[in-house]
């Protein structure tokens, strides 16, 4: 099977997102099985919802690679758990990398569909692929989902999707468009956290 660049990004994103999920499960003192399940749900949750909405077989059911990469991520956390659990920055960077890569994967796969979906659908699928796994992760570990807090998260996915579609619209090479999109998400997330940028909080009064 020919490995495309977007497939490579999906593998790396799976590894990064799985680590973010397993790391949080470890901090919550989950057992090994529970931590693996949280990591897997984080890694494949968004892509699964995307594929179901697009009417195709969920990607992880076509290859065991994603289960294997999640297992590798699990043992990575086991080996370096003391360092990862103590460092909040470790969760942030793994989560941000996974977020950026999965936005690219969601947009790219949507535009490659035979149905010829519009750009706004690709942006939506990119946001869903990137953010939904984190929502599932936070629900499983009994936390308020990060996407619903004031920290910029889904908005970074949106701009990453817009960057991808703009590049595609003007004919930029696919690999370059994917890199630009992922970097856009990462930069926005990093700047938002560094400078405490956030959306207004909805209040009752």
Is residue 204 assigned to a domain? no
In whole angstroms, what is the distance from residue 73 CA to residue 181 CA? 24
Which pLDDT does position 148 carry in this prediction?
Answer: 78
Question: Is the pLDDT higher at 27 or at 123?
Answer: 123
Instruction: Report the 10 Å Cβ neighbour count for 204.
Output: 3
Q: Supply the mean pLDDT for the chain.
A: 89
Tokens 């706004």, residue located: 120
In whole angstroms, what is the distance from residue 164 CA to residue 176 CA? 9
Is residue 200 assigned to a domain? no
Is residue 202 assigned to a domain? no
Which pLDDT does position 91 carry in this prediction?
Answer: 75
Domain around 184 = 5-194
Which pLDDT does position 1 carry in this prediction?
Answer: 44
As for how many domains the chain has, the answer is 1
State pLDDT tens for residues 170-194. 999 998 999 999 999 999 999 988 8
Which residues make Cβ contacts (< 8 Å) with residue 79, sequence separation at least 6? none
Is residue 115 assigned to a domain? yes
In whole angstroms, what is the distance from residue 53 CA to residue 36 CA? 25
**Predicted confidence band at 2 (pLDDT cuts at 50, 70, 90)?**
very low
Is residue 203 assigned to a domain? no
The predicted model gives 55-78 an average pLDDT of: 93
Reduce the DSSP state of residue 93 to 3 states and report it.
Answer: helix
Residue 86 pLDDT exceeds 50: yes
Residue 77 pLDDT exceeds 70: yes
State pLDDT tens for residues 119-152. 999 999 999 999 999 899 999 999 888 787 756 8
Residue 143 Cα distances to 94, 132, 202, angstroms: 18, 14, 19
The predicted model gives 69-92 an average pLDDT of: 81
Is residue 186 assigned to a domain? yes
Which pLDDT does position 204 carry in this prediction?
Answer: 65
């Amino acid at each position: 099977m020919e490995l495309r660049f977007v497939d490579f990004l999906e593998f790396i994103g799976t590894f990064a997102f799985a680590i973010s999920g397993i790391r949080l499960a470890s901090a919550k003192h989950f057992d090994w099985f529970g931590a693996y399940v949280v990591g897997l749900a984080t890694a494949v949750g968004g892509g699964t919802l995307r594929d179901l909405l697009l009417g195709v077989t969920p990607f992880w059911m076509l290859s065991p690679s994603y289960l294997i990469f999640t297992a590798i991520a699990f043992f990575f956390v086991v080996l370096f758990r003391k360092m990862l659990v103590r460092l909040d920055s470790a969760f942030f960077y793994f989560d941000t990398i996974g977020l950026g890569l999965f936005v690219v994967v969601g947009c790219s796969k949507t535009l490659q569909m035979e149905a010829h979906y519009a750009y706004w659908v690709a942006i939506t699928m990119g946001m869903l692929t990137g953010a939904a796994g984190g929502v599932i992760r936070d629900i499983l570990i009994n936390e308020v989902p990060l996407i619903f807090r004031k920290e910029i998260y889904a908005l970074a996915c949106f701009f990453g999707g817009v960057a991808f579609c703009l590049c595609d619209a003007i004919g930029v090479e696919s690999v370059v468009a994917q890199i630009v999109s992922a970097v856009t998400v990462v930069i926005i997330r990093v700047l938002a956290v560094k400078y405490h940028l956030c959306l207004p909080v909805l209040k009752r009064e």
